[in-house]
Structure 1
Amino acid sequence: MFSDPRVGAGEHIAAARQQAKLTQRELADASGVSYGTIRAIERGARLPSESTLDSIAEALAVDPSRLLGHRGRTSSRVHDELPALSRAVATYDNPEDGPVRPLHELSTTVSELVNWRVSAQYLRIARRAPELLMELSRALHAAAAGERVETTRLLVTAYRAADAVAYKYGHQDLSARLVELMRWAAPAAEDPLLDAAVAYVRTEVYFVARAHEAGLRALEAALDAAPHGEEVPERAARGALHMRAAVIAGRAGRAERATHHLDEARRLGDAVPEGVYQGTAVGPSSVRVHEVSVAVGLGGDHLQRALDIAHEWTPPKDLPAERRSAFYIEVARAQMWEGRPDDAFESLKVARRYAPQHAREHPWVREDIARLRRIKRADREDLSNYAAWCHAV
């Protein structure tokens, strides 16, 4: 039997508070939780309620699962929010009446969603996105001519953040609907860089359907249509598409095409500062992560390349958490296939540490931890705890 995941939360809250350089009183003021409650929770005299934990996590700008030592039931809470997201999607062209904030305030909120997406804070997106999507739909219906382009851009970007939640949590029909809404709205933004970003995201549909050849064709068509200028945003847009094309070519077993796209991604990635462009992390480190993904996708003799990269390089701390987590999940799969189960488990633990919600919902994590339990003793507590955490058992 597993203990209440809130046991020990006080210790994690205290550590996160100290890292944020806040006093208990300052945390109480920022979170709206009473000072006495904060003190009692940190010394272990009281367990935080779910709402209290969320308020504290919000004030500390961390994922709630971090305050539970990654043992919380974040996944079920995300699923609980998805019906509201489905309603927002269903009423995209006829949103409920309500207020609409000024465009600059909406832009700030959408930027928060992007930051949460690349740091794999899916619960926060799931809670915020439904109302935001309806508000943006109202804003678009009421927008003056001079505001329609920017409002559309914000709506497409918010759809992408919402799609990340639907896609990661296995709601593929909802994800596909969100992708189609992105494709429906994007042309009105009159921004070819946004069109390229939508083509990047659309590849999810091909991954789910295992239609890798079709996905590769779609990405190569998007590359033909993408701006071919030499400004940083244009290079980044093409670099992102080449990274994605390299991965799906690898899944299709097209080694030559994968190498071509990876070479182009590397050339373009080296020419831009590492950063998030149109919602996608692009730069030398991001290309390196994709190089590992391509090697794992191709398998066989290519796996050694993934292991070599993992031996000589680690993702820098300024790389988005979701991408760092993905790197270690890919490395773990290569280690499993190369007969290194202990190393694979260590990689999976690192992936969880960087982005717990991303690792918990990743199908490869569940497959690999289940296989590890078969290879090792199934009653090993560390493996069993991890398997229970990611719902592999």
Structure 2
Amino acid sequence: MHPADEHAGRRIADLRKINGMTQVALADATSFSTSLIAQVETGKKPASAAFVAACARALHVDIGTISGQPYQAELRADHLEQLIGPIREGLDWYDIGPADPQLRPRPTAALAAVADGMCAKVRAGQLRAVAELLPSVMQEATAAAYSEGTSEAWGVLGTVYRNAYDVATKLGYQDLAAISLDRMDWAGQRASDPVLSALRQYMRALVHMRIGRYVMGGRLIDAGQRLLQQAPEGTERTAMSGQLHLGSSVIAARNGDRETALGHLDQAHLAAARTGEVPKLRWVSFGPTNVSAHRVSALSELKDYRGAVDAADDMRIPAGWPPSRTGRHMVEVANAQLWIGQNDASFKSLLAARKVAPQQTRYDFTVRETVAALVRAQRSTPDTVANLAQWVGI
């Protein structure tokens, strides 16, 4: 089999046949059209995250079985696979005290600076650097939280767990991401930090969105908004509320609810007008730029690809916007451009994503599907496209 033929659609077709399902039956079970299923299965169209989630539920398999994540060969080549085991072990020490009773952790303020530095590296797309640091920093932060017992120390540990979530999500280890979120909640409760707890609900909602549980995702966002009411009024509370509205907009859009999705975008726009750009909202960037980027995401999820591309054309990404967020935005733009036949523009957007956030882009499911579709759309693949395909593992 040609490597470009090993894509999500091909896996869906194989699983469907194993389950004795016709394309019509799969369409009935997923609410996607038979025509789209046929196009995705043959590789004429890329599989979206929503499509994969729906098919995984209908076929009773894990999403990774269809997406192929995590991409073990590339992780081994980049020496990242060997770092996952120590992170898992570090997450397992949470409720039994420090891993090394003799460890004397640095003061909370110093550990907070380390945790913030790790967040900055995630935003810069430096996943390997963070993965290498996580086990030792997690061990030290755990020891500090138990020895000091202060809200600040528990909050630092929560931030470290959040870094573990980011690395796991971006490398395709969704089970590890879910564990990291549970640990983040555990630490957040001890920190008595409503903003951290609300952020955890936001991130948890995104996990449920990825597996097609949109109602649960929406409820978790609502729970986050209620938790925020316990926080002091001010920019942080307003910005986090706006970020939660952005999460709600994409969840509603993926569920096909255009009116609700646009309504949440409007609420987020109002919040952004009050706060302006907030570059470090618990290491989530909120502001007018992020609202515009989420509008592109929501329109894409609603299959309004022309609207998504037009919205992206109207955007101006400011200097200093996080490379990880810029890279993800360019991937979403590339996918929308592919759907409306702008293949050359799609390829250029993927190159932009690779340039700004290479490690993140290499392990992105949407990137693989988009590149594979670009390869299959051309009878003779130019060297430039072939090189990108080889780089992502196709």
CA displacement at 1:280 relative to structure 2: 0.8
Q: Distance in 2 between matches of 1:229 and 1:150?
A: 17
Counterpart contact for 1:324–1:354, Cα < 8 Å: yes
> What's 2:312 paired with?
310
CA displacement at 1:186 relative to structure 2: 0.8
> What's 2:145 paired with?
140
> What's 1:236 paired with?
239
Unaligned regions of 5+ residues in structure 2, if any? 1-73
Residues 349 and 290 of structure 1, relative CA distance in 2, 3 Å threshold: same
> What's 2:120 paired with?
115
Amino acid at match of 1:272: T
Q: Distance in 1 between matches of 2:148 and 2:233?
A: 33
Identity %: 31
Q: Distance in 1 between matches of 2:95 and 2:186?
A: 11
Q: Distance in 1 between matches of 2:380 and 2:386?
A: 7
CA displacement at 1:118 relative to structure 2: 1.5
Normalised TM-score (structure 2): 0.77
Amino acid at match of 2:141: L
The match for 1:251 among 223, 232, 254 is 254
Q: Note the alpha carbon deviations across 1:167-220, whole angstroms, 9 max, x for none.
A: 111111111111111112211111111111111111232133211222012212
Amino acid at match of 2:195: L
Residues 259 and 386 of structure 1, relative CA distance in 2, 3 Å threshold: same
> What's 1:343 paired with?
345
Normalised TM-score (structure 1): 0.77
Q: State which drifts further: 271-280 or 319-328.
A: 271-280
Counterpart contact for 2:201–2:223, Cα < 8 Å: no
> What's 1:288 paired with?
292
CA displacement at 1:137 relative to structure 2: 0.8
Counterpart contact for 1:74–1:357, Cα < 8 Å: no
Counterpart contact for 2:250–2:298, Cα < 8 Å: yes
Amino acid at match of 2:151: V
Counterpart contact for 1:93–1:137, Cα < 8 Å: no
Q: Distance in 1 between matches of 2:94 and 2:223?
A: 28
Let me know the Cα RMSD of the aligned residues.
1.7
Q: Distance in 2 between matches of 1:281 and 1:317?
A: 13
Counterpart contact for 2:202–2:221, Cα < 8 Å: yes
Indicate the structure whose relative CO is greater, using CA pairs within 8 Å and at least 6 residues apart. Answer: 2
Unaligned regions of 5+ residues in structure 1, if any? 1-71
Q: Note the alpha carbon deviations across 1:58-93, whole angstroms, 9 max, x for none.
A: xxxxxxxxxxxxxx9786322221111011012222
Amino acid at match of 1:92: Y
Q: Distance in 1 between matches of 2:122 and 2:131?
A: 10
> What's 1:273 paired with?
276
SS in 2 for 1:271: helix
Residues 336 and 379 of structure 1, relative CA distance in 2, 3 Å threshold: closer
CA displacement at 1:284 relative to structure 2: 0.6
The match for 1:77 among 76, 79, 98 is 79
> What's 1:181 paired with?
183
CA displacement at 1:320 relative to structure 2: 0.6
Aligned pair count reads 316
Q: Distance in 1 between matches of 2:128 and 2:169?
A: 13
CA displacement at 1:378 relative to structure 2: 5.0
SS in 1 for 2:285: strand
Counterpart contact for 2:76–2:82, Cα < 8 Å: no
CA displacement at 1:315 relative to structure 2: 1.4
Counterpart contact for 1:140–1:152, Cα < 8 Å: yes
CA displacement at 1:271 relative to structure 2: 1.4
Q: Note the alpha carbon deviations across 1:220-265, whole angstroms, 9 max, x for none.
A: 2322332376511111110111111111111111111111111111
Q: State which drifts further: 205-214 or 318-327.
A: 205-214
